[in-house]
Structure 1
Amino acid sequence: MSLFAFMGALEAGLIFGLVAIGVFLSFRVLDFPDLTVDGSFPLGAAVAAVGILSGMNPFLATALAACAGFAAGYVTAQLHLRLNILHLLASILVMLALYSVNLRIMGRPNLPLLNSETVFTPVEALPLPHMYAMPLVLAFAIFAAKLLIDWFLSTEIGLALRAAGASPRMAAAQGIDRNHVLPLGLGLSNALVALAGALFAQAQGFADVTMGVGVIIIGLAAVIVGETILPARTMFLATLAAVAGSLAYRVTIAFALNLDAIGLRAQDLNLVTAVLVVAAIAAARSRGLPGRPKLKRRETTNA
């Protein structure tokens, strides 16, 4: 594998680290199988692309994309809570609806961002080659977002959210209303995914309505691989493992597709992904499948 391909894999792995953290929040912390991310990822890309092309500040457009993702997750939670729709079905319905919403936002299936100012434009002014500067800047931004999520999950609201996912009955006994914390948690999860979509579109130079296909699988693969290589019982290490899993997943995929001896091609991406996820699950099973990070007794009481 060439150095250029390796740095590109690191760049994509860092961006999808946000997706991994978002999936970790919904699947592990909230215990909610949320497929909305397949729609919120291109939603973030669409909102950011349209905002940038309309002359909006790229940082403001990216923040607006995250807000749109939050709204998508909030709608999924409300369908589940208010209409008593099965969580899996509620997320699928929102995911399907977002395909049409994204087409409406963009006006067409694809929007190019070439020669447009993006959040990565200032990176070009750094005294480093672009292929080195981008991963460094992304690593700083993703780690800052990770620390912000860690901090939020240690607050009173964050502990209530964790308690509601760990044990709904215990949370209800402590006076925690799941109808309030679940929309917040799913909104935050999809906001991270939409933010990743906005960054990915700006890094790649285009937004496409189909770019969200399989994102949930990538996110789950990153979480499972991360839990396998870095078992954790604290939130700091758990979110770190999600990002590490995303990096490991992207580098492994890039290595497999660029290894001529194996003979794999780009169309084999889904096959490689499936094999990697199965291998990670098998490895986790053999070592004892890691569960969600536990709440300390003191934290549970305070929640």
Structure 2
Amino acid sequence: MFNYFSKFFYIKIYFSLAFIVLNSNLSIADAHSTFKQVEATGRSILIEGDINTSRKRALEDALYIAALTGGANIDGFSAIKSNTVINDQSIIKATNRVIDFKILSESQNKDFLTIKISAIVGNELANRNCKKRPLNITLLKGIYDVHSSVPSKLARYTPLWYKKIYEIVPKLPNVNSIDNQNKSLNELKKSNINSSFNYSALTTGLSKIQAGDYSLVPAISLSSISGSNSFVNNYLIQLELNIFRGPEFKLVSKKTYDLKIRYQLDSKFQFIKSISTLDINSIDKEVYNHLFLNISNFLNELNCQPLEGV
């Protein structure tokens, strides 16, 4: 009898575990299934003699409706006018974005132009599945800055960390880089405008930025942090990345990434300062990981930018 109940008990546990695993897999699949195909129709007033503007506005309307089909957030507020009339204001924001679309049909009558599209929409989790394309990036001269309150040992490492940026970018997958760290953004802009400067640029090897290519201008700074904990000397490493697109050098993205370093105890006794100071090699490794991770994420976001319009 005991063996019978024992076998029954283990069989029950086995099927329970199998059920849990199956449900977990289904949940994971649902969590990653972030795309949805929808159809949407947009309309715009037909502008006589300017069909392209009407077509663009109708397409924008269709794309907005497609994004809303995937989900929306409604924010709003109420205001009371002088005669106690309540005025409600609401803002509708799509929680999804259009990943891709194609135009199914276009029609027009006397007053309106109508465009019907089929679109793929997805939420922010879809960024993980963005198709990676080769990025042509020219690395330009940036800057590094060290505050006067920073200890000399940390200060000496700042230009080394700055140079690490130019070593990290070429190592990243899908990145074709040109090292022009001795040339500034202003020099490159002049080479595209001033024809006489172009000759000088050719003789000095200044590269030409093509349409669709990018230019990266980095910056790194190191400063002290005056926090609530007066017993510890904290320092802040701030990485700034500026990326521009095309020969017009349109700023596409600008982001900063902070890393806090607890360097040593603040004490009047040199012995306590010495034994509490972090190993510079450990700090160097931590900073490198910080740079590599955030530069990689920053450039990956270029592959996941929303559509800019047609």
TM-score category, normalised to shorter length: under 0.3
Which one has the largest radius of gyration? 2
TM-score using structure 2 length: 0.23
Comparing both structures, which one devotes a greater share of its residues to strand?
2
Q: Which has the higher contact order (CA 8 A, sep 6+)?
A: 1
